[in-house]
Amino acid sequence: MTTRLMAEGLFEGVDPPRLVGARCSGCHTVVFPRQDSCPRCADGTMSAHVLPVRGLVWSWTLQAFPPKPPYRPPSGGFQPYHVGYVDLGEVLVEARLEVPLREIRIGLPVRLTTMPAYHDEDGTEVLTFAFRQDPEEDR
């Protein structure tokens, strides 16, 4: 089965992919995804910046009902899923959380992963980014 990443501009590398944002040379603000101008200051220039892979759950919720299109459900149909912000230190990133309900909490150590989002019409599996519990951090 062939796979592809959901949107090329969000990632750097493939094995494993890392998230790439941008960092301002003036005020050091980190944004995700990349953008060409700084939302905070006028003088900085933005350059590509690979984000840390480890972070802590900053907030979370459950998507309990199927979203309307343009949401694309997985091939097996909609299943409720967790969403949250992950604190990566220099920036908080919103992401799907592949963490079961019994484990999920603010402050939980997580690390970057990919997960199947949906399938293209030709059967290609489309991957999006997510965070899962960090086994190295978990005691």
Partner 1 sequence: MTRARSDEVYVVGCGMHPFGRDETVTGMAMAERAVREALADAGVGWEDIGYAAGGSDVSGKPDTLVGRLGLTGVPFVNVQNGCATGASTVLAVANALRAGEASLGLAVGFDKHERGAFNVSAARYGLGDWYAESGMMLTTQFFALKTRRYLHEHGISERALAMVAARAFRNGAQHPMAWRRKPLTEQEILDSAEVSPPLTQYMFCSPGQGAAALVLALGDRAFDLCERPVRLASLALRSRRFGSFEVFSPWLPPGPHRSPSVDAAEAVFRRAGLRPADVRVAQLQDTDSGSELIHLAETGLCGHGEQEELLAAGDTDATGRIPVNTDGGCLAGGEPVGASGLRQFHEVVRQLQGRAPGAQVPGAPQVGFTHVYGAPGISACAVLTA
Binding residues for partner 1, rule: CB under 8 A, are 6-7, 9-10, 21, 29-33, 39-40, 58-65, 67-68, 70-72, 81, 83-85, 87, 89-96, 106, 117-118, 128
Residue 116 phi, psi (nearest 5): -65, 130
Cβ-Cβ contacts under 8 Å for 108 (sequence gap 6 or more): 56, 57, 99, 133
Instruction: Pick the closer one to partner 1 by CB: 122 or 135.
Output: 122
CB of 63 to partner 1, least distance (A): 6
CB of 82 to partner 1, least distance (A): 10
Return the sign of the alpha-carbon dihedral for residues 29, 33, 39, 41.
positive
* Binder of residue 100, out of partner 1, Zn ion, none (CB less than 5 to 8 A by kind): none
User: Running DSSP on this structure, what letter comes out for residue 120?
Assistant: -
Among candidate residues 70, 18, 24, the one with its CA nearest the CA of residue 45 = 24
Instruction: Pick the closer one to Zn ion by CB: 24 or 91.
Output: 24
